[in-house]
Amino acid sequence: MDTYVSGTRLKPDGVIYYSGQSRTPRSIHMVIEAKLASHTESLPNVVLGQLAEYARTVWTEQPTRTFVPVILLHGANMTLFVFARSGYYRVEMGTYLFTKVAGSPEDTLELLQFLQDLWFLLKQPPNRFGHFADVSVKYNSLRFSGGLQDSRVELAGLDEDLDVKLGDRIARDVPLIRRTAYLIKATYCNKPAVLKYSWTPVDRLPEGAVYRVLELHEVSCLPKIHSSGILVKNFFGYRLEYLLMDDCGESVESHFFRTPGPLASLDQINSTCVAIADVINRTVSCLVEAAKAGVLHRDISTGNITICNGQVRVIDWGYAKLTQPDAPEIKDIADEWGFNLGDVTKNEIIHDGMTGTPIFMSIRVLLGRPTRGLIDDIESLFYVTMYALSHLSHGPSASSAFKVHDNNTAAHVKLGLVIRRKSYLEFFGVKVCSDDIKAQLDLLYQLLFCCNNQFIGEKLAEEEAEVRVVDTSIMRKIIGSSLVDQIYGSQDDDSSAMSAGENDTPAVKASAKRKTRAAKTRKPAPKKPKPAPKKPKPADNSNNPDSIKNRLRPRPGRSA
């Protein structure tokens, strides 16, 4: 008999809810599906897909889940499927149907064992079976305690300032397997906050560790982190991490898309343009500071840049990579968070070519190039800006740059859109753009797609190694000389360049080092000697055919 799950399209054959709670997806303990045929050897994909959809729905609605159990009754057998972040695991529970009521003693013992196992599963409290917290009763507040590697969470009964008072979930896609994150609006110390749960492979970088590195180097435009730690150290190869941070406002996508596009008033357009200009400046500054601290974001998108009370924030550093793993503070942070620095560094490099939001990825990343650096993050910001500006004209859907393609096609589409410096705004579908933003975008265009004022799209598409460097003369115009001097040191020659990324080729790194060294060690030019006294001007023998000067005069058509 099908059982409808309220608020969903699911119709499983049975659902077990937590006692005393409303029958919604948020209170499901276990889902039961029944099939007439027995599948003891292999399970048809259509049946497995059905069970996985049950698990995905439950996991989407229950952030406290460590795994989702689904029971399959098939023929006379019962099988427990445990869906975790790393995949699903199958546990045979045994036979529950027999041809005779009074079978053999062996049948009786088998049935008894089956009933005991089933009863054991059903009586397990949520915090021991499927959850990292006790959710058998309704709760509105949580309390976190413990250290970074052994953090604990419990329901908070008292209304204290240090308790995390939970609000609504922030809508976000939750995939069935692999890494994912939940965002929940909250209140902490009577101020708006955000609670984030993240499931991450144990051989990848914890986001809390990234924020710690950035905080040590005082990188700007970051949310304040109040508390962080690991709740589950290793569950089938995944860790569960939590972050409690200041409220980050709304994403630039939500912020800019509240403007009614082509119907926007002049004041709305001007206000949006001012905000976009600030986003460009602040985000580039943040990315440059982070790169200097040894961190690449790798997932700059419209959802990972926010605006809160007029302040720009760069968030979601869960896909970041450490580029200076040998730094002493990095080793200390790895010890604090309990991850293997060598394994994490190796795996993050492997994921360089597959990390990020495809429509905002740089051309080289889309083409699967083996190196990635600061210049790729800045290129992603360029596309984020185009995405926002195109909405003011007619919506991003009208631009082919933001349609879903395979990576190779998307890379060549972007190359075609930026091929002409005078027309790239038009090609991206941007019709409304203030002069100051146009000036900023032109600087970004020159930084990303030109070298010596020549378009380098062909090299971006063909060269394996990074062919770009970050010209400090351009960076000074984007983020200001004081910040460039503070991070990279003052340069005598504004045309000098800094590395485009930590993964640059040795040739690019050597070139940058030579230029920097030359700028620092350059000696003043020697004084020119005083000119010798002028000699008397010789007589003009131009008409004398026997003069030496005329005999040595070049003949027509030949060089001297």
Q: Tell me the per-residue pLDDT of 414-431, one tens digit each, with 9 for 90 and over.
A: 999 999 999 999 999 888
DSSP 79-102: EEEEEETTEEEEEEEEE---SSSS
Give the C-alpha separation, 163 to 169, whole Å.
Answer: 18
> What's the confidence (pLDDT) of residue 540?
47
- pLDDT mean across residues, the chain: 83
**Mean pLDDT of all residues in 135-154:** 87
CB 519 within 8 A of CB 491: yes
Does the pLDDT value for residue 388 go beyond 50?
yes
The reported pLDDT for the residue numbered 541 is: 45
In the numeric block, which tokens belong to residue 475? Answer: 């960076």
Q: How confident is the model at residue 400 (pLDDT cuts 50, 70, 90)?
A: low
* Residue 205 pLDDT grade (very low, low, confident, very high; cuts 50, 70, 90): very high
pLDDT for 199: 95
**407 falls in which pLDDT band (50, 70, 90)?**
very high
The pTM is what? Answer: 0.82
Tabulate helix, strand, coil % of the chain (nearest 5): 40, 20, 40
Residue 390 has a CB neighbour count (10 Å cut-off) of 23
Per cent of the chain over pLDDT 70 is: 83
Whole-number pLDDT of residue 297: 98
pLDDT of residue 312: 97
- Residue 135: name the closest of 61, 226, 192 by CA: 61
34 pLDDT above the threshold of 80: yes
Secondary element (H or E) of residue 423: none
pLDDT at 410 exceeding the cut of 80: yes
- Domain spans of the chain? 14-123, 141-515
Q: What is the pLDDT of residues 290-322, one digit of tens each?
A: 999 999 999 999 999 999 999 999 999 999 999
- Those residues with Cβ within 8 angstroms of residue 238's Cβ, 6 or more apart along the chain or in another chain: 84, 85, 86, 179, 199, 200, 201, 202, 232
Q: What is the pLDDT of residue 99?
A: 63
Highest mean pLDDT among 402-411, 446-455, 491-500: 446-455
Q: What is the rounded CA–CA span in Å between residue 78 and residue 72?
A: 6
Quote the pLDDT of residue 111.
79
Report the CATH number of the 141-515 domain.
Answer: 1.10.510.10
What is the mean pLDDT of the segment spanning 459-478?
91
C-alpha dihedral sign at 395, 397, 399, 405? positive
Res 191: pLDDT: 94
* 99-108, 147-156, 343-352, 425-434: the lowest-pLDDT one: 99-108
The band of 271, judged by pLDDT with boundaries at 50, 70 and 90, is confident
Over range 148-176, report the average pLDDT: 85
* Torsion, Cα of 258, 259, 260, 264 (10° steps): 160
* Residue from 366, 404, 235, 252 nearest 313 by CA: 252
Query: What's the confidence (pLDDT) of residue 102?
Result: 56
